[in-house]
Chains A and B, each alone.
Chain A
Amino acid sequence: MFTLQLSETHEMIRDTARQFARDEVAPSSIERDKNGEFPTEIIKKLGELGFLGMMVSPEWGGSGLDALSYVLAMEEISAVDASVGVILSVNNSLICWSLETFGTDAQKEKWLRPLAVGQIHGAFCLSEPEAGSDATSQHTLAEKVDGGWSLNGTKNWITNGTTASTYLVMAQTNRELRHRGISCFIIERNTPGFEPGLKEDKLGIRSSDTCSIGLTNVFVPDDQVLGDVGQGFKIAMESLNGGRIGIAAQALGIAKGSFDAALLYSTQRKAFGKPISDLQAIQLKLAEMATRLEAARVLVYRAANLKDQHRNYIMAAAQAKLLASQAAVQNALEAIQVHGGYGYVREYLVERYLRDAKITEIYEGTSEIQHIVIAREILKAVS
């Protein structure tokens, strides 16, 4: 049985995130989306407040919070601006988590600490031009050389790609071993031969920077291999299990932001002599949106709660992401419909919510991949 009561601390974290989102993130969100501008100042402030290393142990400069605190913050921030949400998600779920779980103390001191306190942020490089859902087919090669490795290849769709300082890069160290021959490398931005490309011109989450990265004879010393040689695929898959909770919470935030906007507008806009919220056609939409939002919220909080209890959360996280990303897209679509023509223009925010929502069905495992993960877990239990 899943029951959940937010503690006073959880509520304070949620309220802090909500207030920050409203006062610091919202005012610039339309302009940043329009211009594809990275929220440099906002991320700096969020870092100082501890939002970039939320679950990292205080021993390494983190806030030492649980996954539930993390999803509460992700939900509130993403309800206002999903671009800021994804920047946080990548740093918290993929970068900090991988370094804390698999890093040596020396690696944690050098890279995790500045990431956890938000001095810098990181990027996670798994996808390639020909390796998306099929993440096992890595073409980036790492050849053994004296004292380290030499990497060549291309990485695609790298969130935080042009602004990060520390990158986790997956590359094939032994082709014959296929995915057991993939390793994870810690690479600093200014390494010779490591070249982030131009920012992608995206449909949504335009204030987050996404780019491809070229690697040409990039020398990485042996002590910058994260985990063991050959452990890279495991690191990637395990961090993505947790990453799904972050993206699910981002989607939940978009679903909430869409619903809140539709609800507010429907009580203010008058047609046929009364607020449109008095019209049954609008009420049906509001009821469906609210129900979808609550269902997504239950699954997302539940996945976080299972992770906090150190129980298997693989299926729960995939289900949460699947449902929450659908809720985000559906609620954003309906929010536009409630707004009518106003929903189709920038000033009213909801058109951005729709553009932002779509990516949650694609990245950190497409909805199709979530189905596969869920089915695999179901069948594992009966076979």
Chain B
Amino acid sequence: MNILVCISQVPDTTTRVAVGTDGSSINPAGVKFILNPYDEFAIEEGLRLREKSGGTVTTVTVGPDTSKEVLRTALAMGSDTAVFVKDESRSDSFVVASSIADLAKEITPDVILFGRQSIDFDSFALPSMVGELLGWPNISMVSSLTIEGTQVSAERDIEGGKESVSATLPCVISAQKGLNDPRYPKLPDIMKAKSKPIADRVATVVEPRVVTLSMTLPVSKRLNNIMTDSDADIDQLVRLLHEEAKVI
């Protein structure tokens, strides 16, 4: 089974981001970038599918030069090859999806895996766009996956429960947390990743469908929730501490 895993680089969750001088992008100076956490589940699932059924795992990322680093992480985790699609334009999801779909047409994977979302822009758009561009089924938010022959069975997380679905290969899957327990790269594999090939590829040129006008940082506001010592307020406080603050 040939597997394509699509990953992206995102600012570390502990990094404090600033808006760039153009007012519509993140200023990358001083920002630590990491592999998008949901993509770790996608890589791990790709490796497990390969371990079960054979084949190869190819990892791709679309972005500026600095985003190449995440491909090394994927290679160290066990991906066989990697493709780097250079795109400095910080385009919308459609442009990125077009590049990935064109790559998929060339290397004809049986399955394409994504993380459910990238934690920076949260558009949730790529998996379904790529599925649409290729005319393939797309199963999102997958928390359990079995592939037998060309038959795909998956469980999806839906509000308040689970949904079981099936489809046939080729298809697009987006990984939900809990799909698996991603492995740490082994130290010897980190060394070996240095010599694994990363193929450079030119981005597909299409017009973006969505243009970012501006970015602003959220203004922190006080909630002014003042509790009294009434029984009702105490119950409410306990509920808020448990459900909202998640400290008890």
Which residues of A are in contact with B by a Cβ distance under 8 Å? 8-9, 12-13, 15-16, 19-20, 48-51, 54, 58, 62-65, 69
9 contacting pairs across A/B (C-beta < 8 A): A12-B76, A12-B193, A13-B187, A15-B34, A16-B185, A20-B184, A50-B186, A63-B187, A64-B191
Give Cα distance in the complex from A362 to B69, angstroms. 41
Pairwise interchain contact B190-A13, C-beta atoms closer than 8 A: yes
Instruction: Give the dominant DSSP class at B's interface.
Output: helix
Pairwise interchain contact B190-A16, C-beta atoms closer than 8 A: yes
At the interface, yes or no: B73 with Cβ under 8 Å from chain A? yes
User: How far does the Cβ of A193 sit from chain B's closest Cβ, in whole Å?
Assistant: 37
From residue 83 to 99 of chain B, which have CB atoms closer than 8 A to chain A? none
At the interface, yes or no: B188 with Cβ under 8 Å from chain A? yes
Pairwise interchain contact B72-A63, C-beta atoms closer than 8 A: no
From residue 61 to 75 of chain B, which have CB atoms closer than 8 A to chain A? 69, 72-73
Q: Which A residues are CB-close (under 8 A) to B48?
A: none
Pairwise interchain contact B72-A49, C-beta atoms closer than 8 A: no
Pairwise interchain contact A64-B188, C-beta atoms closer than 8 A: yes
Using A9-B193, A12-B76, A49-B186 as known contacts, list a sample of 8 further A-B pairs with CB atoms less than 8 Å apart, ordered by residue number in A.
A8-B69, A9-B191, A13-B190, A49-B185, A50-B186, A50-B187, A54-B187, A69-B187
Pairwise interchain contact A63-B184, C-beta atoms closer than 8 A: no
At the interface, yes or no: B196 with Cβ under 8 Å from chain A? no
Pairwise interchain contact A51-B69, C-beta atoms closer than 8 A: no
Pairwise interchain contact A50-B69, C-beta atoms closer than 8 A: no
Q: Which B residues are CB-close (under 8 A) to A16?
A: 184-185, 187, 190
At the interface, yes or no: B242 with Cβ under 8 Å from chain A? no
Give Cα distance in the complex from A19 to B187, angstroms. 14
Pairwise interchain contact A49-B69, C-beta atoms closer than 8 A: no
Give Cα distance in the complex from A306 to B184, angstroms. 29
Given contacts A9-B194, A12-B72, A12-B73, whether A65 and B184 have CB atoms under 8 Å apart is no
Pairwise interchain contact B72-A58, C-beta atoms closer than 8 A: no
From residue 11 to 54 of chain B, which have CB atoms closer than 8 A to chain A? 34
Q: Which B residues are CB-close (under 8 A) to A63?
A: 186-188, 191
Pairwise interchain contact B73-A50, C-beta atoms closer than 8 A: no
Give Cα distance in the complex from A12 to B185, angstroms. 9
Pairwise interchain contact B187-A65, C-beta atoms closer than 8 A: yes
Pairwise interchain contact B186-A48, C-beta atoms closer than 8 A: yes
Q: Chain A: which residue is nearest B192 at the CB level?
A: A58
Pairwise interchain contact A8-B72, C-beta atoms closer than 8 A: yes
Give Cα distance in the complex from A383 to B34, angstroms. 52
Pairwise interchain contact B184-A12, C-beta atoms closer than 8 A: no
Give Cα distance in the complex from A62 to B188, angstroms. 8
User: How far does the Cβ of A114 sit from chain B's closest Cβ, in whole Å?
Assistant: 16
User: How far does the Cβ of B192 sit from chain A's closest Cβ, in whole Å?
Assistant: 9
Q: Which B residues are CB-close (under 8 A) to A62?
A: 188
Q: Identify B190's interface contact among A12, A19, A20, A58, CB under 8 A.
A: A12
Q: Which B residues are CB-close (under 8 A) to A64?
A: 188, 191
